[in-house]
A and B are shown apart, each in its own frame.
Chain A
């Protein structure tokens, strides 16, 4: 393709949109829908309308920490949870042997049904126009010191004007696909890249970098001998993601597990030098948590066997996703490798695995509302910000859509704290710490993990969603009822006292709350201890009560930590602070602070390389400045 700067448009749409979203991936779909639901006239432009909400990689939603995100998206009025509930073909909750804070939901999707479900939902949305079109340029007005976005230009010569633009272009910016020694420009296998848009962003003066990732070969189920694999069923009773879904009724399917053999390892090792990720043909940084099979063979040569999960891509297709075989090896090596695995001896590949490298925008250039600090009205969301994963993308998309709408409305942005939501952790990590590899969320990234559970996402975020207009009256009524029931249930546990048998004799007057705190005692057990006590019938409420009581000590400790950090968070730093003039800081600290321009001391303290010492120096400076201001004010008042 011949990259060209878009020249004068051949079609200028007289309608001005409030918000334009570029890219109908997982980020773009959430952004566009939220914006439209918040009353904005919204345009969603995407390269191919047939690929709306396409799952580029794994046909699954959720997982550890990702499941948390999906529940949060749902509580804020997003789409993803409902979409997977409607189209999931196998649900499994992970970490069930551990406590509620780290239990996560995951589901296999019928990815084709998922796509059409999302597309239908978007098409039904008022105020939202979906158009096919490759965006090549941004309309930007240069202002005093700051530029502002005014719309977009497409490859077909259309021009659309708007107040805000959300770019959610995924892996498409300067995308380059590699399969063994072969490479070709693409945003995803079989789809064109967005090369000119990448240039346009660079033109705005943005710092950009390059990352890479890879995907697995897709296999034809009718060429797999499933008898040689182990069946992996889903949960007996599938638990929905969305607070709105009552139950999952769709027929569930199993997945299968097989393993690589020593032969597989030998084949990979013999072909290693032909992998673009090993040969040096690719320049981007790959994710460590999702290593290619080449990397596994290289870094853990002693492990002769790796688990491979065979996951159906849908109920009506024979296409199977071979999870665990992420690879950039040449197709012939992929075939040989696969056929050395039990059950796959005669397998046929439907689509080979491949690696892709792409441009991303250094996310420390974003403010916490996901708008670029130097380009008013231009928001970025999803993989373009250096993340990876559908859930991470959707979470950012939702926030960017919300904030674009709030901006058009002239209202303050929605910024979630690290103690409020994994979404807050995700965004703060991105805009404060930046990325060095494709960023994925883990529960260990959250310092207040016990507070951020899947089971309380509604209690944490639904009121916010309601204020934004993304949660209906009915839904909020349901939540408030839940909260009330919880409160009453807890009060009752504190108020009712029973006599409990102990080693040293019976102990009178022990509150039920204390009894429940004992290991091994469940909320429902209390009924047998106290005849006057009736447990709350609603299961979700009972669960909350049990967690609140059992975890109380730990939760209180985390809340105390939150309060402590919030104090640093409340010391705001002026956006125009001239770090270069702060002689008490090292040059490195000044550079880093100047690049991120943190909003408050809390954020400053989380910038990598910013030591406690630098933070205290900054605090001393800010306090001094405050005092000076105060005195000047007093001085003025005195002169009056």
Chain B
């Protein structure tokens, strides 16, 4: 087995005989999703619960056959004459199931009443309602998935675009785990070279620095490649915060509506129409974005507008990307110029709006400005493209076949690996502190240890306790 945590995994496999004393049940499709819904039951009594509340169409039988879909109807315990709904059930026998325990999946028509009915039947038959994230937690505890996979499961449920879904699916399948395993083996190699020279100086006189550098570089490259996916990957999972800002009445709300293709924000010729922010979600090349329309920025107006402007500035600070809107029918004000200057360093797109009207004589837009009209839709497609370009910096990171960084936690762990490797390499090449003139192996080992700890954090083998707390508290639906 090439898994990073082969040993832990083996232990975990043995754990799959784990006897969780109770059996849990929950609705496993997010509320309001489509025509079908699923109730999942896991635990030692899952099979009994199924037999109590489900009668196959072919009549009562000897009990469920693992991994075979069976049609029939669900009913309150031992009352087959009062069907709740027609359903398809699949029984997964431990350890070959999502959580590693005996598991039953009941798929029926997805109405909330029907789902609630099935759930209540399961509970009457001896299951208890699962806590938020409990299925995934059990699955993780039983060694059925690493931490990246566990995270991806939660994200998959929320994935709002097809691209996001694809990436999360890749994670659930363990793409990141495989990358972590590769990094780990390079780092273990590096560590072995160092420790051998320290603890057995009589047998191993010198560290094989060529090989050491090679292993460190391999881990470094892998971590850097993964980190390149972080911006997009995290955005895929969490969405990007895009803020539309500009002077009053330049057409910010109109632009939001144009991007959303619906009338979300109130548009009015009176300047200062938007007092509080309004937002909508769009998908740009598969990246979900929360676009926020803000109150126009202007000084010297009433206290309400002042408050609005303050909020706008706060929003702008927290944004992943800014859309700065200008009105092409009038020259830029001093204030607008200042605003453009102050945001020049941030990721942003500048739009000169109202391109359907004649351009004002004194209006000079900065380089790269998108000329658009919220009214006619001219330039809106271009704007979308530009947003994507600015955000990704033109990279196609997500197209690589390997893992994708989809959370800050992963990015931090990878950064730990990256910096550990790069510090060690630097010291190896003579840039680090040393007492004897050469890079001392015990100092290099500190950096490699750090990188190894990063690998541990990545897949949750040796993770610190607070990370786990974080993750499990985020699994907040009946999975």
- Contact A587–B18 (Cβ < 8 Å): yes
Considering the complex, give the chain B residue whose CB is closest to the CB of A546. Answer: B435
- Contact B465–A613 (Cβ < 8 Å): no
Contact of A589 among B5, B15, B442 (CB under 8 A): B15
- Contact A99–B435 (Cβ < 8 Å): yes
Q: Is A482 an interface residue (CB 8 A)?
A: no
How many whole Å from B445's CB to the nearest CB in chain A?
Answer: 7
Residues of B within 8 A of A520 (CB): 437
Chain B 192-217: CB-based contact to A (< 8 A → 1; otherwise 0)? 00010111111000000000000000
Q: Is A466 an interface residue (CB 8 A)?
A: no
- Contact B201–A550 (Cβ < 8 Å): no
Chain B 5-45: CB-based contact to A (< 8 A → 1; otherwise 0)? 10110011011011111100000000000000000000000
Within residues 438 to 466 of chain A, which ones have a CB less than 8 A from any CB in chain B?
A: 442-444, 447, 449-450
Within residues 296 to 353 of chain A, which ones have a CB less than 8 A from any CB in chain B?
A: 307
How many whole Å from A80's CB to the nearest CB in chain B?
Answer: 21
Considering the complex, give the chain B residue whose CB is closest to the CB of A564. Answer: B464
How many whole Å from A240's CB to the nearest CB in chain B?
Answer: 21
Q: Is A404 an interface residue (CB 8 A)?
A: no
Q: Is A152 an interface residue (CB 8 A)?
A: no
Number of A-B contacts (CB under 8 A): 121
- Contact A99–B443 (Cβ < 8 Å): yes
Stretch at the interface among B117-125, B136-144, B232-240: B136-144
Residues of B within 8 A of A589 (CB): 15
Q: Is B251 an interface residue (CB 8 A)?
A: no
- Contact B463–A612 (Cβ < 8 Å): yes
Residues of B within 8 A of A627 (CB): none
Residues of chain A at interface, number, CB under 8 A: 47
Q: Is B436 an interface residue (CB 8 A)?
A: yes
- Contact A102–B198 (Cβ < 8 Å): yes
A344 to B410, CA, bound (A): 61
Q: Is B336 an interface residue (CB 8 A)?
A: no
Stretch at the interface among A141-149, A269-277, A498-506, A614-622: A614-622
Within residues 563 to 586 of chain A, which ones have a CB less than 8 A from any CB in chain B?
A: 564, 568, 583-586
Q: Is B468 an interface residue (CB 8 A)?
A: yes
- Contact B143–A554 (Cβ < 8 Å): no
Q: Is B441 an interface residue (CB 8 A)?
A: yes
Given contacts A95-B198, A444-B195, A450-B442, contact A588 B14 (CB under 8 A): yes
Considering the complex, give the chain B residue whose CB is closest to the CB of A565. Answer: B464
How many whole Å from A255's CB to the nearest CB in chain B?
Answer: 13
Residues of A within 8 A of B8 (CB): 609, 611
- Contact A613–B443 (Cβ < 8 Å): no
A551 to B438, CA, bound (A): 14
Considering the complex, give the chain B residue whose CB is closest to the CB of A99. Answer: B440
Residues of A within 8 A of B461 (CB): 611-612
- Contact B436–A64 (Cβ < 8 Å): no
Q: Is A98 an interface residue (CB 8 A)?
A: yes
Residues of B within 8 A of A99 (CB): 434-436, 440, 442-443
- Contact B142–A586 (Cβ < 8 Å): yes
Residues of A within 8 A of B12 (CB): 586, 611, 613
A550 to B456, CA, bound (A): 29
Contact of A611 among B19, B143, B435, B443 (CB under 8 A): B143
Within residues 604 to 637 of chain A, which ones have a CB less than 8 A from any CB in chain B?
A: 609, 611-617, 619
Considering the complex, give the chain A residue whose CB is closest to the CB of B206. Answer: A97
Residues of B within 8 A of A588 (CB): 11, 14-15
A503 to B438, CA, bound (A): 23
How many whole Å from A373's CB to the nearest CB in chain B?
Answer: 24
Q: Is B225 an interface residue (CB 8 A)?
A: no
- Contact B435–A617 (Cβ < 8 Å): no
A609 to B456, CA, bound (A): 15
- Contact A449–B442 (Cβ < 8 Å): yes
Q: Is A94 an interface residue (CB 8 A)?
A: yes
- Contact A517–B195 (Cβ < 8 Å): no
How many whole Å from B200's CB to the nearest CB in chain A?
Answer: 8
Contact of A557 among B7, B442, B446 (CB under 8 A): B446
Q: Chain B: residues with CB nearer than 8 A to chain A?
A: 5, 7-8, 11-12, 14-15, 17-22, 140-143, 195, 197-202, 433-438, 440-443, 445-446, 449-450, 456, 460-465, 468-469, 472
Which 6 A-B residue pairings sit nearest by Cβ, starting from the closest? A586-B15, A99-B440, A583-B21, A586-B18, A616-B468, A444-B195
Question: What are 13 of the A-B contact pairs (CB < 8 Å)?
Answer: A64-B201, A94-B202, A99-B440, A557-B446, A557-B450, A564-B464, A585-B18, A586-B17, A587-B17, A601-B465, A609-B11, A616-B465, A617-B141
What 11 new A-B contacts, CB under 8 Å, besides A517-B433, A587-B18? Answer: A98-B198, A98-B441, A99-B442, A102-B198, A442-B199, A551-B433, A588-B15, A611-B12, A612-B456, A616-B468, A619-B465
